[in-house]
Amino acid sequence: MAGTGPIREVNSKWYVSEKHFPGKLYPDYIQGGTYFGTAQAVRAVMAQTSEVTAFNIEDALYTGILAERVKPPVARFQSGRAHFRADQKIVPQNEQCEKGVPFIFAAYSGLLTPRFKSVEDYKRAYKQIHTAKCKSSAANETKTDTN
């Protein structure tokens, strides 16, 4: 989800006070019933939990606010390098990478065209994420400036 912010209407089921989240827009996040992530990424996100006040919009909290706090970030939504994939096939042998590590972090089932309809679908997505390989061309790698 991109460009969404907290609902400030006190009677709303999704109300979030300014005390809990003072910003106008949440960082981009994924929403849905299920998403997968690597153990390293989950640990990095969970390590940030003591740094923020929890609130009831857990998708925005965990995959947006907390994920954004991880340095280097575990999730980015830029230039088509989505770490989170919804309703897209993961190409296990042809993923975009940074420093030899595939960008993909999580797969989730979207609202319009649910991707995970069976236990086998979940198993297949899990295996694809954990066996993803970088594109073979070094030109496809993102270089990070260390200056």
pLDDT tens string 6-65: 999 999 999 999 999 999 999 988 777 666 667 777 888 899 999 899 999 998 999 889
Burial class (CB in 10 A: 0-12, 13-18, 19+), 81: middle
In a domain, 48, yes or no: yes
In a domain, 11, yes or no: no
Whether the per-residue pLDDT at 144 is higher than 50: the answer is no
Structural domain for 137, as ranges: 39-141
- Over the Cα atoms of the chain, what is R_g? 16
In a domain, 122, yes or no: yes
Name which of 91, 63, 90, 66 is nearest 77 in CA terms.
Answer: 63
In a domain, 113, yes or no: yes
pLDDT tens-digit series, residues 61-104: 998 899 888 876 655 544 444 566 655 566 667 777 777 777 77
In a domain, 18, yes or no: no
pTM, full prediction: 0.58
